[in-house]
């Protein structure tokens, strides 16, 4: 079902493999800092993107080996990926002291949710202590 919805499946708690049900594959590339990303098939660059931390390449031919190249300023990382189904590829680039790590939406949401939860708990405790008095 995840494949039909174009969501890269991560079967953490499964021993099986994803069953290919589409005639194309998608590649989601996640990087921890702003980087340039290239998707290469053989010696031909299929697609590329720059200036972001999350890339979604759609409509790639399945059952082919691709090379994902990430250029994060000082680092150039490569990983070979066999796309028989949708895949998620994560890269951790080295960030120097003068570079800043881009926060993705989920990280920011977690911190905001934690702060709001703390405020609600403290506010509830203060309200309870006033009611008791």
Which tokens in the block code for residue 84? 């028989």
More confident residue, 103 or 39: 39
Q: Where do the domains of the chain lie? A: 1-100, 103-133
Residue 24's pLDDT is 83
- pLDDT tens digits, one per residue of 97-127: 555 555 566 677 888 899 999 999 999 999 9
Third-level CATH fold of 1-100: Immunoglobulin-like (2.60.40)
Inter-residue contact 84 to 63 (CB < 8 Å): yes
| Residue 27: other Cβ atoms inside 10 A | 23
Global confidence as pTM: 0.60
DSSP 25: E
Q: Is the pLDDT of residue 48 over 60?
A: yes
């Amino acid at each position: 079902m995840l494949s039909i919805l174009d969501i890269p499946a991560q079967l953490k708690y499964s021993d099986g493999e994803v069953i290919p049900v589409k005639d194309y594959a998608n590649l989601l590339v996640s990087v921890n800092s702003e980087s340039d990303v290239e998707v290469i098939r053989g010696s031909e660059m299929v697609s590329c993107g720059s200036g972001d931390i999350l890339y979604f390449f759609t409509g790639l031919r399945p059952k082919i080996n691709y090379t994902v190249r990430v250029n994060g300023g000082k680092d150039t990382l490569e990983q070979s990926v066999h796309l028989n189904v949708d895949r998620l590829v994560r890269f951790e680039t080295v960030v120097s002291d003068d570079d800043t790590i881009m926060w993705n939406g989920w990280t920011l949401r977690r911190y905001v949710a934690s702060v709001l939860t703390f405020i609600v708990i403290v506010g509830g405790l203060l309200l309870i202590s006033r009611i008791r008095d």
